[in-house]
Amino acid sequence: MEIKIMKNILNRNQNKADEVRSLLALKNVLMVNIISSPGAGKTTLLEKTCETLAPKFRIGVVEGDITTDRDAQRLKKYNIPIVVINTEGGCHLDSHSISKVLDSFDLDNLDILFVENVGNLICPSQFDLGETFKLAMVSTTEGDDKPAKYPMLFREARAILLNKIDLIPYTNFNRGNFRSDLKNINSKVPLFEISCTRGDGLRNWFDWISDQNLKPNLTSSRL
């Protein structure tokens, strides 16, 4: 019974996601759905990305959180449009809530819309929001076994960000194990090894995401 219910929920979500995707394609907006565990560094990534790319691209942000607007507060200083979705206990964003908040953005004057999903390595990967692609973020302090243990997201993501590489010396994180597990799950996905707080590797990420924006929505994750 629960499987049937889940199928219905996912079908309804998919229909609305398809609508969102068509609208964004029409408006030529790249939508990036950022998914990670709590505290992997999504907001810090957005801070660094806005700092460097907001002068070049028209950036907007949707902040998905169970409660509080703390992440949005951290991004206020970049003077970009930000909308908070509080899920009030819900473990992921869905396409209906995204569809609603798109009204708050001037899509004709937007290049990239970053969606910071609720901190959760599992549920958000099952809900298409109509994004151009999903971005998986994982931090070294979570351990090198995350791709093997939570494969869905790593299989779906267009790129992987491995954050907090500055902390590797203080943990038992094994780069070889991480890369080899990831390769088994998604052999060709680009991997960016970064430290959002220290800046390591961010240049490659900025270049890559800028390059994606030059050809937005032509190759959506669901097309």
Residues that bind a second copy (CB under 8 A): 2, 5, 9, 37-40, 65-68, 70, 89, 91, 118-123, 126, 139, 141-143, 145-146, 148-152, 164, 166-167, 170-172, 197
Q: Which one, of 130, 59, 55, lies nearest residue 96 by Cα?
A: 130
Cβ nearer to a second copy, comparing 79 with 172: 172
**Shortest spacing between CB 29 and a second copy, in angstroms:** 27
Q: Please state, in angstroms and rounded to a whole number, the distance separating the CA atoms of residues 72 and 84.
A: 7
Position of tokens 């090894």?
193
Whole-angstrom CA distances from 186 to 132, 158, 221 are 18, 10, 14
Cβ nearer to a second copy, comparing 29 with 116: 116
**Shortest spacing between CB 70 and a second copy, in angstroms:** 6
**Shortest spacing between CB 156 and a second copy, in angstroms:** 12
**Shortest spacing between CB 206 and a second copy, in angstroms:** 22
Cβ nearer to a second copy, comparing 56 with 70: 70
DSSP codes of every residue in 132-173 = SEEEEEEEGGG-TTHHHHSHHHHHH-SEEEEE-GGGGGGS--
Q: Please state, in angstroms and rounded to a whole number, the distance separating the CA atoms of residues 56 and 158.
A: 22
**Shortest spacing between CB 19 and a second copy, in angstroms:** 19
- 116 three-state secondary structure: strand
